[in-house]
Structure 1
Amino acid sequence: MSRRALTLLLSGFLVLALGVVGAFQEVPYVVLSPGPTENTIGEVDKKPVISITGRQTHATTGTLSLVTVAYQGGPAAQIDLLTALRGWIDPTVAVVPQETIFAPDRDPQEVEEENTVEMTNSQDSATAAALNELKIPYDMVVTVVSTEKGKPAEGKLRKDDQINYVDGKQAKNVDVVGDAVKAHKPGESVVFNVTRGKDKLDVTVPTIAGDQGQTLVGVLMQAKYKFPFEVDINVGDVGGPSAGLMFSLGILDKLTPGSLTGGKRIAGTGTIQPTGEVGAIGGIAQKMVGAKESGATVFLTPADNCAEASKAVPDGLRLVKADTLHNAVQALDALRTGKGNVPACDAG
């Protein structure tokens, strides 16, 4: 073999070896893909997703499925370049920078705890929204779950503190407290009136700027409700707040005679406020794929996600705009009866 041929052969092997090594090099990205769906009026592991005790319930038909997004990657298990490349060429998944899912200054355990609390808050907010829709009264208080290490609230607010007022404004829900904090400029102080044990006291907490410039104190809160009957939601390892709308609809369907779905296979997504407002979520494209794969023909879409969803909707899946729980119920009524307006998502 000539020296030139040997050189080319060795060079080829070197390029191949470098390519193989590079393909398995870890990269700071996360792959988002369609996750499992769960029928909120069905069962998981032979247990009802929604169980209601102490109140009459009614039979349901069809499906009201929540949808999820699965992910690969993260600080504790980074993906390799080859996995990222496969994701980039797959139209059903998304590859996003790791920091968009896991903030650089956040401990993964803190993120997991926050997701768990968000799911619990979402379930409680869903129940509250359903009861508000049915005009059934209940009680609620905002409590402290934990404070972030190194943030201003640490050592000032304590676990299980009940927040009564923020800067003199009644803490009607978690969002009211959060909005009151965000109304300050970083460096200003917030006055929390809390019940701690048997005492009521004012706690002054300075604010700082977060990574995105937002004002924060570093407190994780949870709304604790006292409902007139028990609503238990069982969804296994699903985390985050994006199933709120579908939980509310599932609760409503069980509490009211007749069927919301009319036997149709319906899926959807969206956060929910106790007052019934439906909020935007992430991963809408992957969630629509999961809905279609589960057999759904209708997909309830938060109004703020409509433009994005309309550009990526799978064939055979009808997008229905949902801005409030009440309007979502009316849309389902119109779909079932063929009477009334069914608000559609569009790209506008």
Structure 2
Amino acid sequence: MLASTLMLIALLCAGVFIPVPYAEMSPGPTVNTLGEHDGEPVLRISGRKTYATSGHLNMTTVRVTSAEYRMNLVEAVYGWLAHDNKVVPHDTLYPDGKTEEESTQENAEEFSQSQESAKVAALRQLGIPVRSWVIVSTVVKGSPAEGELHAGDVIKAVDGTAVERPADVAELVTRHKPGEDVVFTIVPAKEQAAAEKENRTATATEQVTITTAASDDGGERRAVVGISAGTDHTFPFTIDIELADVGGPSAGLMFALGIYDKLTPGSLTGGKFVAGTGTIDDEGEVGPIGGVEMKTVGARSKGARFFLTPADNCAAAARDTPEGLTLVKVSTMDDALDALEDIRSGRTDDLPRCAAG
């Protein structure tokens, strides 16, 4: 008995003090995009008529342990047994040794981009024109583009071929072999900012020639200059999204629906409690997200009855749906608006529901 007791104590100590390479996800807060958070409106629109709203269009979140936190074996076992938590390999949340600061910065950038795409998707759905252009999003330190191109520069053309989408830039650059020159036609970021401030179209362009280098990301060898391209927009009125301490791209769909609701008469939800998740792009396409099982739990615990679920997440979400929550399958903003029409009209039998795969 003494030997067994000592062995048990040793095992318990090992379980408490020996770290394991896992992290934990759990349901996070949900926020009504039509309401307030910390006493401030989540969506604030000025320069355009808005309308009263009712009900809930809640965005949902997931809590995760920090990059530096090292879970012990006891915590991992408890997390595996807990119904509402999920234990995953640490590298799933923080790949390539990413630090907490790097992860926070990346999440903030994705959150900012999701807000822009939500605005564009909502306004285009309403037929409101939005001006867009391709820009330099980031410049890699030590790359051929460093000092030649800068974040915010507008890319008008590459080798004389006009660009309309960020993907066009990479396509045109990779037509070259490493070591060849590529010519960018740009509007410098300062000139673009001045034009926007004066409400005019920037016309002063520059030609920038950059010698390409070979890619070193482990994939097929190709020509690169060391930038990532993105999209910037000018909106005809002001839309501010105020929500601190949230990151990632997964609130895009719910922000877009909230903006749409505030800019149209009547209520999208008919006073119902609807929550959801999903990325959204400028064209209104809804993309998958992580941690959907945690988000459905968090939504239902706050009172949601319907959950707008990206089509690619449906199977995972449907495997363990919280009681009283209807999972509604959506692939586009059009799908979400159609579903909301059915919900507020009481035609819930017509809803496209998620099924377990």
User: Which residues of 2 match residues 292-303 of structure 1 at below 5 A?
Assistant: 292-303=300-311
Matched to 2:79, the amino acid is G
Note the C-alpha offset of 1:139: 1.1
State the match for 2:86 in structure 1: 94
Question: What do the CA deviations read for 1:2-53 (whole angstroms, capped 9, x no partner)?
Answer: xxxxxx6266325513531432322222101110000000001111000000
Aligned length: 339
Task: Specify which of 247, 250, 256 is matched with residue 248 of structure 1.
Answer: 256
Rounded Cα–Cα distance in structure 1 between residues aligned with 2:175 and 2:86: 36
Q: Which amino acid aligns with 2:139?
A: T
Check conservation: 1:40, 1:50, Cα contact below 8 A. Answer: yes
Q: Is 2:277 the counterpart of 1:269?
A: yes
| Aligned pair partner of 1:42 in 35, 38, 48 | 35
Q: 30-39 vs 113-122, which deviates more?
A: 113-122
Query: How much identity, in percent, do the aligned residues show?
Result: 44
Residue identity opposite 1:208 in structure 2:
S
Shift of 1:96: 1.2
Secondary structure in structure 1 of the residue aligned to 2:328: strand
Separation of aligned partners in 2, 1:236 and 1:214:
41
1:347 maps to: 356
Q: Residue 118 of structure 1: CA displacement?
A: 0.8
Pairing partner for 1:109 from 83, 101, 121 = 101
Residue 287 of structure 1 corresponds to which residue in structure 2? 295
Q: Give matches, 1:196-235, under 5 Å.
A: 196=188, 199-203=206-210, 205-206=212-213, 208=215, 210=217, 219=227, 222-235=230-243
Q: 1:54 to 1:95 in 2, by over 3 A?
A: same
Amino acid across the alignment from 1:345: C
TM-score, normalised to structure 1, is 0.85
Tell me the equivalent position of 1:62.
Answer: 55
Residues 158, 173 of structure 2: 8 Å contact kept: no
- Any idea what the Cα deviations from partners look like across 1:45-94, whole Å, max 9, x if unmatched? 111000000000000000000000100142x2222222222111112121
Q: 1:79 aligns with which of 59, 71, 91?
A: 71
**What residue number does 1:258 align with?**
266
Distance across 2 between alignment mates of 1:106 and 1:143: 26
Unaligned runs of 5+ in 2: 191-203
CA contact (8 A) 2:178 2:212 kept: no
Alignment CA distance shift 1:128-1:167 (3 Å): farther
In the alignment, what sits opposite 2:201?
none
How far residue 277 of structure 1 moved from its aligned partner, in angstroms, is: 0.4
Write the mapping of 1:126-205 to structure 2, written as runs, cut at 5 A.
Answer: 126-149=118-141, 157-165=149-157, 170-174=162-166, 176=167, 180=171, 193-196=185-188, 199-203=206-210, 205=212
Range 158-167 or range 308-317, more displaced: 158-167
Instruction: Report if aligned partners of 1:288, 1:299 keep a CA contact under 8 Å in 2.
Output: yes
Distance 1:159 1:31 in 2: 35
> Secondary structure at the residue paired with 2:156?
strand
CA contact under 8 A between 1:194 and 1:203: conserved in structure 2?
A: no
Distance in 2 (alpha carbons) for counterparts of 1:231 and 1:219:
29
- Code of the aligned partner of 1:343: P
TM-score (norm 2): 0.83
Q: Kindly indicate whether the alpha-carbon contact (under 8 Å) linking 2:25 and 2:65 is maintained by their aligned counterparts in 1.
A: yes
